Every structure is written in structure tokens, then in C-alpha cells.
Structure 1
Amino acid sequence: MGLEDNALVRRFINLGEKRAGSTTMGIVVGIVASFGGILYGYGTGTINGIMAMDHVKHTFPSNGEEFNSSETSLIVSILSVGTFFGSITTPLISDTLGRRWCLILSSLVVFNLGAVLQTAAVDIPLLCVGRVITGIAIGFISCTVPLYQSEAAPHWIRGAIVSCYQLAVALGIFLAAVFNQATHKIGNSGSYRIPLALQILWGLILGVSMFFMPETPRFYVSKDKDDKALRALSRLRKLPEDHSDLLEEFNEIKAAHMFECEVGKSSWRQVFSNKNYQKKRLTTGILCQSFQQLTGVNFIIYFGTTFFNDAGVDGFLTNLAINIVSVGTTIPGILLIEIAGRRNLMSGGAIGMSVSQLLVAIVGVSTSSDSSKKVLVAFSCIFIAFFSATWGPGAWVVTGELYPLSTRAKSMSLCIATNWLWNWIIAFTVPYMVDKDKGNLGNSVFFIWGGFNAICAVYSWAMIYETKGLSLEQVDELYEKVNYAWKSKGFVPTDRFSKATKKRSSSGDLDKESSVKEECV
């Protein structure tokens, strides 16, 4: 008996046609992979508090007192340079060695090397080198985890499983805030070395755990390794390899891939072609990841402690409170993604974020009283709550479901690279926007984020298709049959891929299938 047999689950979630076996293992695999979000969240979140520590400010800055705008911009944004290049090169590993080995190598080798260098640093150059290397690993991980989860998880709970990645990101940021709070008053290098060294532990946990996880069946199908694909699917569904329901699911995956191969060989050229509505899907994914950054969430993650201190609020405690809210509100988001659906969640979240940020900006520029400080903290928490329950997990879910198998890894790498490109732009420019000797925007910066979130709401309605409850192969059919995103809720999938495979098998058309394989591999 698996989670899909639970009466409460079946009441609120449309599971589709019940198949034999259990999907519990598929869920466990997805949750284990989610731990990659800890590395992402901790790696990006820890620098916020570290740069506000007294010992760090007396050790690293050129003047021995405070980081100037250029130093802040360099240290914070340099991570995103690594993540961008890591993201864009991920298919070289994930499409060659597999999704599983990509996670093992990136966490055990690349991430931990960067963590060691950061921990050993006593000046800005070595700290930046360590952050670049750590960033490359986070780029690999941020591309591969949603890809691995989407390909391994059962379709009826895929959105919730991928959303667990965002929960892990929030937990990572929260843990960074906790350890920064615990060590920031230490009067020696332990203040920053302890939280930085803990990154090694997170890398070891993910890398070792992935040794015990299976590769995804869809990766093996893409490499024409049908025996290994069946074995992996059997392990995920807890069914013997010759079971009819297992073979039916395998046939659907196989037939969808064969159809894609007939359309064209997997290549970067195909990623930018219009076959299988690829351009439309790629545009949707790139905009989705771009808008996730333009919500303004990383303004708080990267600069929250310093910003709140400058506003007359205890930055460390406020940042910790915001991270508690982030973790707590991501949990309902995991449930809502499968109950409310992708479109409703993303549209409603964008509206909520926009309103809360505009209120912060309006009150902030109208008065400088203690009441305005309370409004700043309160509505910052409300903004984080909306983000964590909607766009935080939702962006990973949407982009993880969008693409056909033949272009999935490459398309995901472009989307995530776009996310990190905007991450770098924000990390690099914000110090110049808000520092008192530069732009000195103060609370007015929230007008910018609020405006972008209003655009996010329009984008969600116009471009995000409702993929709740669909298999990855049925998403291909959705884009083929439905021209407009706002009409996607009424889509009813067929079992055409399963029928196509049965027809091909019964007709004995082996020569054609063999030639298609040669074109695709």
C-alpha cells in the first residue's frame, strides 16, 4: 500500500487511473534528491549574515572597517557567476553520465572543494574563488534536482515532490541564518569559519545518499538502455519487470521518446527549433525563472541583514524571523500545487507579493516612525510567505514539467542559467541602488519589486499551462492540442503513446524503430 491509497489523498488529488504497485519509492527518491536545495539555500544564504559580522568587517575589507559597495557587490554576486556557468554546462554531465551521477559529483567533489576554500579564506580573493567553485556546483544541482525529481516522481504528486526542493532551499537559508546568529558574536575567525565549514557536511549527505538512489528510467530510455530503464522503473514502482502495468508505463515513456526522435535528433539546434512547440515552451520556462528572481526575494536573502540594520531594526533577528516564515509557508505551497493547480497558485502569489511590497514602499517613503519599521518587517514577512507558498516552489515545478525528453536537460539548463543570470544582476546592482553613498533608494526599492510582481501575475495567466495530474508525456500532447494557456484547464489527455507502442510491437516494425534509435542517440 502506498501513499496513493490514502483516502485523504484520493479525496483532494486526482490520481487518474489506478495502477498496480506502489509509488512510495518514487516519492522517497524525489524527497532525498530535494536535499540538494539545502546546499543551494545554505550556500546562497550564509553570506548575508557573514558580511555583517564584526570580525569579518575587520578582516576582509580593504579599510578594515566596512565593506564598500564594490566589495559587497563582488563577494555577493561572484557566486552567481559560477552558478550561471554551472547551469549552462550541466547537460554535458546529466545527459552523459546521468542525473544521479551529476548530483554525486557536484556535491561530493565540486561543492566541497569550494566550501574548503571559503573556510580557509582570510582575504577577499580566496573567498571569491571558493564562492565561484561552490557556485558551479550549485548550478549543476539547481538544474539536475528538479529534472531528476520530475522524471522519477509519480505524475499525480510530481508537483509536490519538486516543490520539496524549494522547501529544502528555504531550510538551507534558515539554517544559514541560525548558524550566523549563533556565531556572529565570536571575536575570532570561528565566527565565519564555522558556518562556512558546515557546507561540507551538507555536500557529504547529498552525495552519499545519491549512491543509494536509482537513475531515472527516462534517462536510460534516452540512451536506448531499455533493460536498465525497466529495472529502474521496477524499483520505483515496486513491481516485477514483466508486470503489465509496469510495461504499460514503460511503453508510454518509450513511445513518447521514439516520437520525439522521429521529429529530430536531440541537439542544441532542436532546443531552439519550433518542433514540439519548443520555442513556446522555452520562452515560458525562461520567463518563469527570470520572474522568480525579479520578485525581489534575493534582495532579502542577500542583503536583508544589512538593509534591516540600516532601517533601525535588528537585522540578524529579523532575518531569522523571515526565514522561519519562509520554511513554514513553503509547506502549504507543497500541498496547494496539486490541489489548486499551477496557474491559480502562481497568479494569486504574484498578486499577493505585489500588494505587500507596494505597501512597504508606500509606508516607507511616507513616514520614518517606529510604526513604519513595524510595517517594513510585517509586510516583508507577508511577501516571503506569498513567495514561499507560490513562486518559490512553483517556478521549479513549471520548468521541470515543460519539455520533451530529448531536449529536457538542455532546456532546463538554459532556464536555470537565466535564473542565475538575473540573480547575478540583482546581487551586483543592488548595493549601488540602496547604499547611502550611492542610489540611496531605501524602501523605495520595493516599488521596483512590486511592479515586477504585477507583471508576473499577467505572465502567469497568459503563459503558464495547467499541467496538474499529467504525465510528462501527456504534457507534450497538451501543447500540441491547446493553443492558449488560459484554455489548458479543460484538456483531457489520451493514451496515444501507449497505443502507438502496442501497434508498433504488434506490427513487428523493428527496422523502422532501429533506424529511429540510430538517429536519436
Structure 2
Amino acid sequence: MEGKQPESEHSEHSDAVRDDGVEPYGPGGKFLQVLGDVPPTFEVINQVSGVLRDPWCRPVTVCGRMRISQCHRWHPLRLRGVISVILVMDQFLDRFGEVSDTAPGSGFYKGLMTAMITLGAFIGAMNQGWLADAYSRKYSIMIAVAIFTVGSVLQTAAIDYPMLVAARLIGGIGIGMLSMVVPLYISEISPPEIRGTLLVLEELSIVVGIVVSFWITYGTQYIHSHWSWQLPFLLQIVPGLILGFAAIFLPFSPRWLASQGREQEALVELAKLRRLPATDARVQKEWSEIITDAKFQAATVKQRHPSLAGGSTISKVRLEFAGWVDCVRPGCWRRTLVGAGLMFFQQFVGINALIYYAPTLFGTMGLDLNMSLIMSGVVNVAQLVGVISSLWTMDRFGRRKLLLTGSVAMCISHIIITALVGMYSGNWPQHTTAGWTSVAFLFVYMLAFGASWGPVPWAMPAEIFPSSLRAKGVAISTCSNWINNFIIGLVTPPLVQNTGWGAYLFFAFFCLFSGLWTFYFVPETNGKTLEQMDDVFNDCTGAEEMAQRANLREQMASQSIAS
């Protein structure tokens, strides 16, 4: 609503005691009681500080740190930073001559090698859902780490181009699996008061990994042997092994246990996570909500697909497929379109193309190789600054305004770079001012992306889907990210090689289109409740679910009194 500051997900928990008389967990409760009233500007800082300091939240913090260190959930955190430098190393080009600029078809081979890891991630993300449901979030993390480690070892030991491509595909499968299960696990074990903050920290962890990995790889280029490119590939095994080993000691997700009918075990694990007695009112209330949700999910499946409620293997497979189809049925298809569309434009505005091939692109602006590498690292820092700013701006200004502003700023930057590269790329030494102006607008682009199209597409999908379809809706959005990431990685090298300034014009068009699409199709979701989300998307999916949940709670309360 214009003229009214929307209530953020954080602020609705800011009181020390909720309306139901139960004190909230963590930074929304105990931590803010200690601080007292604080200026709104610093609210999100207190939220993050609460995540790090509150003992009830430490299990979540540990997982978050693992995620930052790990090669990702994710866009290949380290791999995005690593590959941009490795692609210009002489030792690497000597071993894999197919990707050398002088080799025939090098643009295609370079794109295939770069994009293969995102294709693997798409495959991994598509298949992780049933693994996480069948074997638990904890064990599926360990499986994903094992696959990722095998891929990293094979990349390090690759002796020819086909082996390297296959190794990156295997490693990508592990990354895609982690990209699904780690955020799911963290959201399931975290106190409600900090889930919104963790959504913003998601993109921050990605960019921190990119920055750190880039500068590590920049340093290894001075090793005058094959270890200059093998060491970065080998080092990414370390955080993977740390995560895999630490996963042994992680608790099972209480929500997964509840979905398996292991209700008392869910209570025990929840009490451990909150570091409170199982009899504590807060633990009991959250446990009751978890059990209600698990029963609601089961009841919803039976209601939507009564003929598939049997326990046979064929019924389970058909039911899994039907769940995906539900995401595109009337009542949910607009939400799915928004989630998948955000991820599409996140890739097609050109961010990964600039990160993967930044040294090459800086070369088209007239910079020598060493300066191109240095500036590639600096623009990653610019993106990090933009992401940090979104910790404050996302809830204050809303998702939609950030997306629109980011699209405009990125489009203008691309157009100016297109004009300068098109006019002066034939003689950069005589036009150094134009070259550095291009670099400056690339910085503007990275800042704008980091503050808008970087974090928002990861935050919105978790907000817009009703609970019964949230897991699959977020999965579709994530898979959209990976498959479009794959396409961008595949087409960018020949695009840059054959068109020069045309690559920037290509991405400028999609920046413009992203703004128009956002203006006409993306609603503001900041601070909206489930019922309000129905009004936003002009359906009644959420309200129907709320009514069903209320009836289920009444039935459970009646059964409890009767017993």
C-alpha cells in the first residue's frame, strides 16, 4: 500500500511477548529485551547480532558458517570465483588447449566446461528432494558432500578436457544437492524470529565465498607449475570435508522427524536445538505447530489426490509427480511464474557472465592481463557492498522497488559500456579515459545487482508459496536458477568472442525486460501474511490452508482433552 511502511518479517516478532503470551526465541525475545528499544535503522543489525550471540541460535549459526565456507549451496561459490582466474592461466591452457583463445571452437569448449557444473547442479537440485524426504536432511547433506568431493578430486586430477568436463558435472551434482537441502535444513531448525534475516544472509554468503576464492586463486597464479590451477580445485575439498564431518553431529530436523511419525523424537531434537527443557512453553508451542503442520501436509495430499494415497511404490512416484503439477495449477501458477521468472532474470541480466569471464571482458576494455584480474576481484567486492546494503533496504523499501531500481541502474550501465566498447575498443591506448569509464559503470552494475537482483530472487520464493507447496515451489525456482545459469555459461564465451560489445547490448536488453516484467507481474510481498498473499496473487490458496489448519488444531486439542 502506497504511503505506508510495510511491516517486516522481523518487526512482527519484536515484542518481548507474543499475543498468545508465549515469549519468542532468540533475538526477537531475549536479545532485544536486553538491548531495550533501538532505532529502526539498526534493527536488522541487532537481528544478525542476535543470531551470532544467542545460545539458542548457535546451531543455526554453525550451519550458516558451514554454508559460507562450503562451495555452496549454491552457485558455485568458490567455483565462480575460481574459474574466472583459472581460464587465463598459461599452465591451465597448456593442459586443456581446447579452451585457449587460439584453438578452433574455443568459445564453445570454454562455455561447455564452465556451464557443465551448473548443469550438474540442476540435476542434483531436481533429485535432492526425494533423498531429503526419504533419508533425512542430515544424511542427504552427507551424500551431497561425498559426491561433491569426488568431483573436486577428479577436477584436480584431470588429465584431459573430457575428464575435466565429466568431473565438473559430478561436482555440480553435489553442489545442486546442497543448494536444495542446506537452506531447507536451516529453515527447519531455525527459530521463527530469524528466518527472514537468514534469507538475506543467503546471498551475502555467496558473495563472500566468491570474493575469498577469487583472491586465493589470484595468488596461486604465481605458482609456476600445474599446481597454479590444481591447488584451487583441491582447496575446495577442505570446506566440503568440514561440512561432511560436522554433519555427523548435526541433529535431525524436527520437522522431518514429525513427517515420519516420530513425534517424540522431534520434541527431543527441538529441545536440544533451543537449549531448553522439553517442557518449556515455547518448545511445546513450536512442537505442537510442527506436528500440526506435518499432519496438515498428509491430509492435504489425501484431499488433493485421494486415489494416490496408497503406500505402493508406484503410488509414491505418481504422487511426487502430482505434487509438481500442483505448482502450475490454477491458484498457484502465478506464484510459480514469479519464482521461476525471478531466477531467470537473475541470470540473464548478466551477473554470472561478468563473474565467469570478467578478465576477458576487462580485456575488451583495454586493460592488461594483470590489471584485468585485479579489477575482476575488486568488482566482486563492489557486489559484496551492494548485498550488505540489502540487509537494511529490503525490508525498508520492499522487494519490488529494489528490483525496479536495480533493473534501471543495470540497464543504463550496460548501454553506456556498449557504446564505449563499440566506439573505442579498436584503439584503447588512445582512449584510456573511455576504458576506465567503462570500468566505472561496471562497478555501478555490480553494486546495483548486489543490492537488488542478487538477494531478492532468493528471498521471495520462500515467501510467496503456500506451505503445502512451498518446498516444491522453491525447488522449481532453484532449478530455474541453475538451468539458466547453465545456458548463460554456455552462450557467453562465443557471444563475447564473436560480438565484442554485442554481449553488453544483449544483457542490457534483458535488464530492460526484467524491469518491465517486474513492473507488470511482480507484486510487493514485504510484510504480507499468508491471507494477504492471496489478495496479492488474486487467489484463495493461503486462506483455504489457514482454515484447514485451524480445524486440525481444534481436532488435536479435542483429542488431547479426551485423553
Give the TM-score, by structure 1 length. 0.84
Matching residue of 2:508: 450
Matching residue of 2:231: 194
Letter matched to residue 508 of structure 1: Q
Matching residue of 1:331: 388
Q: Which runs of 5+ in 2 are unaligned?
A: 1-24, 48-53, 303-318, 426-430
Cα distance in 1 for partners of 2:133, 2:523 equals 26
Q: CA deviation at 1:359?
A: 2.5
Q: CA deviation at 1:395?
A: 1.5
Matching residue of 1:145: 182
Pair 1:61 & 2:83 matched: no
> CA contact under 8 A between 1:221 and 1:254: conserved in structure 2?
yes
Count residues with an aligned counterpart. Answer: 493
Matching residue of 1:206: 243
Cα distance in 1 for partners of 2:299, 2:509 equals 44
Cα distance in 2 for partners of 1:64, 1:452 equals 29
Matching residue of 2:558: 507
Matching residue of 2:443: 381
Q: CA deviation at 1:131?
A: 0.6
For residue 208 of structure 2, the aligned residue among 171, 184, 188 is: 171
Structure ranking higher on relative contact order (CA contacts 8 Å, 6+ apart) = 1
Letter matched to residue 289 of structure 1: M
- Please show how residues 278-317 of structure 1 align to structure 2 within 5 Å: 278-313=332-367, 314-317=371-374
Cα distance in 2 for partners of 1:355, 1:502 equals 53
1:226-267: per-residue Cα shift (whole Å, max 9, x none)?
A: 223323333333332233333333333433443443332563
Matching residue of 1:134: 171
Matching residue of 1:515: none
Pair 1:424 & 2:424 matched: no
Pair 1:3 & 2:27 matched: yes
For residue 78 of structure 2, the aligned residue among 13, 36, 42 is: 42
Matching residue of 1:31: 64
For residue 71 of structure 1, the aligned residue among 95, 109, 112 is: 109
Cα distance in 1 for partners of 2:237, 2:221 equals 20
Pair 1:348 & 2:399 matched: no
Cα distance in 2 for partners of 1:263, 1:454 equals 41
Cα distance in 1 for partners of 2:234, 2:411 equals 37
Q: CA deviation at 1:184?
A: 1.5
Secondary structure of the corresponding residue to residue 393 of structure 2 = helix
Evaluate the alpha carbon distance shift between residue 306 and residue 350 of structure 1 in structure 2; reply closer, same or farther with a 3 A threshold. same
Evaluate the alpha carbon distance shift between residue 63 and residue 232 of structure 1 in structure 2; reply closer, same or farther with a 3 A threshold. closer
> CA contact under 8 A between 2:278 and 2:284: conserved in structure 1?
yes
- Please show how residues 399-438 of structure 1 align to structure 2 within 5 Å: 399-435=461-497
Of the structure 1 ranges 385-394 and 115-124, higher mean CA displacement relative to structure 2 is found in: 385-394
- Please show how residues 208-247 of structure 1 align to structure 2 within 5 Å: 208-247=245-284
> CA contact under 8 A between 1:329 and 1:389: conserved in structure 2?
yes
Letter matched to residue 34 of structure 1: R
1:341-366: per-residue Cα shift (whole Å, max 9, x none)?
A: 33333333333322322232233334
Letter matched to residue 27 of structure 2: L
Secondary structure of the corresponding residue to residue 163 of structure 1 = helix
Pair 1:52 & 2:88 matched: yes
Secondary structure of the corresponding residue to residue 264 of structure 1 = helix
> CA contact under 8 A between 2:214 and 2:377: conserved in structure 1?
yes
Q: CA deviation at 1:423?
A: 1.1
Q: CA deviation at 1:504?
A: 1.3
- Percent identity between the two aligned chains: 26
Evaluate the alpha carbon distance shift between residue 335 and residue 104 of structure 1 in structure 2; reply closer, same or farther with a 3 A threshold. farther
Letter matched to residue 307 of structure 1: L
Pair 1:103 & 2:157 matched: no
Matching residue of 1:268: 321
Cα distance in 2 for partners of 1:35, 1:63 equals 30
Evaluate the alpha carbon distance shift between residue 404 and residue 63 of structure 1 in structure 2; reply closer, same or farther with a 3 A threshold. closer
Letter matched to residue 559 of structure 2: G
- Please show how residues 104-123 of structure 1 align to structure 2 within 5 Å: 104-107=142-145, 109-123=146-160
Letter matched to residue 267 of structure 1: E
Cα distance in 2 for partners of 1:23, 1:411 equals 29
Cα distance in 2 for partners of 1:253, 1:63 equals 52
Cα distance in 1 for partners of 2:138, 2:198 equals 17
What is the Cα-based RMSD across aligned positions, in Å?
3.3
> CA contact under 8 A between 1:251 and 1:497: conserved in structure 2?
no
Evaluate the alpha carbon distance shift between residue 149 and residue 291 of structure 1 in structure 2; reply closer, same or farther with a 3 A threshold. farther
Cα distance in 2 for partners of 1:11, 1:256 equals 35
> CA contact under 8 A between 1:95 and 1:409: conserved in structure 2?
no
Cα distance in 2 for partners of 1:161, 1:8 equals 23
> CA contact under 8 A between 2:534 and 2:543: conserved in structure 1?
no
Letter matched to residue 64 of structure 2: I
> CA contact under 8 A between 1:167 and 1:327: conserved in structure 2?
yes
> CA contact under 8 A between 1:76 and 1:428: conserved in structure 2?
yes
> CA contact under 8 A between 1:296 and 1:449: conserved in structure 2?
yes
Q: Which runs of 5+ in 1 are unaligned?
A: 486-490, 512-521
> CA contact under 8 A between 2:382 and 2:447: conserved in structure 1?
yes
Evaluate the alpha carbon distance shift between residue 484 and residue 407 of structure 1 in structure 2; reply closer, same or farther with a 3 A threshold. closer
Q: CA deviation at 1:374?
A: 1.0
Matching residue of 1:180: 217
Cα distance in 1 for partners of 2:67, 2:102 equals 37
Cα distance in 2 for partners of 1:504, 1:362 equals 67
Of the structure 1 ranges 116-125 and 165-174, higher mean CA displacement relative to structure 2 is found in: 165-174
Of the structure 1 ranges 33-42 and 352-361, higher mean CA displacement relative to structure 2 is found in: 33-42
Q: CA deviation at 1:114?
A: 0.7
Of the structure 1 ranges 461-470 and 115-124, higher mean CA displacement relative to structure 2 is found in: 461-470
Pair 1:90 & 2:162 matched: no
Q: CA deviation at 1:282?
A: 1.9
Give the TM-score, by structure 2 length. 0.78
Cα distance in 1 for partners of 2:345, 2:36 equals 34
Secondary structure of the corresponding residue to residue 215 of structure 1 = coil
Cα distance in 2 for partners of 1:193, 1:221 equals 44
